[in-house]
């Protein structure tokens, strides 16, 4: 016997669970979404695919991270295949269309699902990441998957956690005559890959670089992140493609990310030491210079929730000494 969704919703309602579970079921009934990523050529043979400068939500299908397509003589390279199997397929088709060649390599810059979960659309042997990223995905991938299925429902159809098969090591790699320099960094997460395309001076920052969109910190080590930004700042480049937000034609995005993280770090320390609770800290006024940064309040509040318990444990005993 098949049980209709309507009966399930009615049953859940009777059990008092409808407010939690019904939205995904309703989404499933109404679902008609397809991803339509657009590629903009930002340098010779390099296309940027912009994500929405928003939190992950059903309305954007989780497509909030930027992806990159690079043309080589052997085929296309995709950096960050997006949040779901369906998005990965759309990026693969887009890469094939703009380069006229199949995808021969996929780089996943770090563990976060808005960047990594589209990997299932590609041959797993072509998917490369830092060993730390594979380790992180083995630990957190299923949990991320559960969380995304709850929010994104049918956008996630068929998506599974695909482990990258190839290890990235720092240094130069040549694919189809195109020289890429790979940087093994950390700070936004425990493994953050950044890539420089030597021919065009395009630096692909992954989530080490945010631009006009507040940095997300759920797995961050702020000191490590600031060190990584110093490293990227020292790499000669003409363009920066951030993990989130618009293209940067200089050092503004790196400087802005550093400015935000330094402010967050100081603000959190001050808030803990002055005895503010988490909700008070989350209400801290955002400086005027960050007024145009998207989702600033949202990420500020998330950063408070990520860092506050650890900071209180570290800083408050000193107050009593």
Contact footprint for Zn ion (CB under 5 A): 112, 207
Q: How far is the CB of 287 from Zn ion (least distance, A)?
A: 23
Which tokens in the block code for residue 275? 């005895």
Place of tokens 């995005």: 253
CA distances from 63 to 31, 97, 189, 205, 320 (A): 16, 20, 20, 18, 47
Nearer to Zn ion, 112 or 211 (CB): 112
Nearer to Zn ion, 53 or 207 (CB): 207
Q: How far is the CB of 207 from Zn ion (least distance, A)?
A: 3
Nearer to Zn ion, 112 or 213 (CB): 112
Q: How far is the CB of 43 from Zn ion (least distance, A)?
A: 23
Place of tokens 């890469």: 95
Q: How far is the CB of 65 from Zn ion (least distance, A)?
A: 7
Q: What is the DSSP string of 154-223?
A: GGGTT---PPP-EEP-SEEEEETTEEEEEEEE-SSSS-EEEEEETTTTEEEEEEEEE-SBPPP-TT--HH
Q: What is the DSSP string of 61-124?
A: TT--S-EEEEE-SS-EEEE---SSHHHHHHHHHHHHHHHSS-EEEEE--SS-HHHHGGGGGS-G
Q: How far is the CB of 205 from Zn ion (least distance, A)?
A: 11
Q: How far is the CB of 186 from Zn ion (least distance, A)?
A: 12
Closest by alpha carbon to 226, among 215, 218, 236, 237?
215
Nearer to Zn ion, 72 or 116 (CB): 116
Q: Are 164 and 127 in contact (CB under 8 A)?
A: yes
For residues 240 and 202, what is the distance between their CA atoms, to the nearest angstrom? Answer: 6
Q: How far is the CB of 2 from Zn ion (least distance, A)?
A: 40
């Amino acid at each position: 016997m098949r049980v209709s969704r309507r009966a399930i919703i009615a049953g859940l309602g009777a059990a008092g669970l409808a407010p939690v579970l019904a939205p995904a079921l309703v989404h499933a009934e109404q679902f008609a979404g397809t991803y339509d990523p657009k590629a903009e050529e930002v340098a010779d043979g390099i296309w940027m695919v912009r994500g929405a400068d928003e939190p992950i939500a059903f309305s954007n299908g989780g497509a909030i991270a930027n992806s990159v397509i690079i043309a080589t003589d052997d085929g296309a390279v995709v950096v960050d295949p997006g949040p779901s199997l369906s998005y990965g397929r759309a990026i693969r088709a887009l890469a094939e269309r703009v380069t006229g060649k199949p995808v021969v390599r996929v780089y996943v810059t770090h563990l976060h699902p808005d960047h990594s979960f589209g990997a299932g659309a590609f041959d797993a042997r072509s998917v490369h990441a830092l060993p730390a990223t594979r380790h992180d995905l083995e630990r957190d991938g299923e949990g991320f998957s559960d969380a995304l299925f709850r929010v994104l429902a049918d956008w996630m159809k068929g998506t599974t956690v695909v482990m990258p098969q190839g290890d990235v090591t720092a240094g130069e790699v040549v694919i189809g005559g195109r020289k890429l320099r790979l940087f093994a960094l950390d700070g936004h997460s425990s493994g953050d890959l950044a890539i420089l395309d030597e021919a065009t001076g395009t630096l692909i920052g992954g989530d080490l670089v945010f631009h006009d969109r507040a940095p997300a910190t759920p797995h961050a080590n702020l000191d490590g992140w600031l060190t990584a930004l110093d490293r990227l700042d020292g790499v000669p480049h003409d363009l920066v493609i951030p993990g989130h937000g618009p293209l940067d034609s200089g050092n503004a995005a790196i400087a802005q990310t550093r400015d935000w993280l330094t402010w967050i770090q100081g603000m959190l320390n001050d808030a803990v030491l002055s005895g503010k609770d988490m909700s008070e800290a989350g209400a801290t006024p955002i400086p005027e210079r960050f007024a145009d940064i998207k989702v600033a309040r949202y990420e500020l509040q998330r950063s408070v929730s990520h860092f506050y318990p650890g900071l209180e444990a570290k800083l408050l005993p000193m107050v009593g000494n």
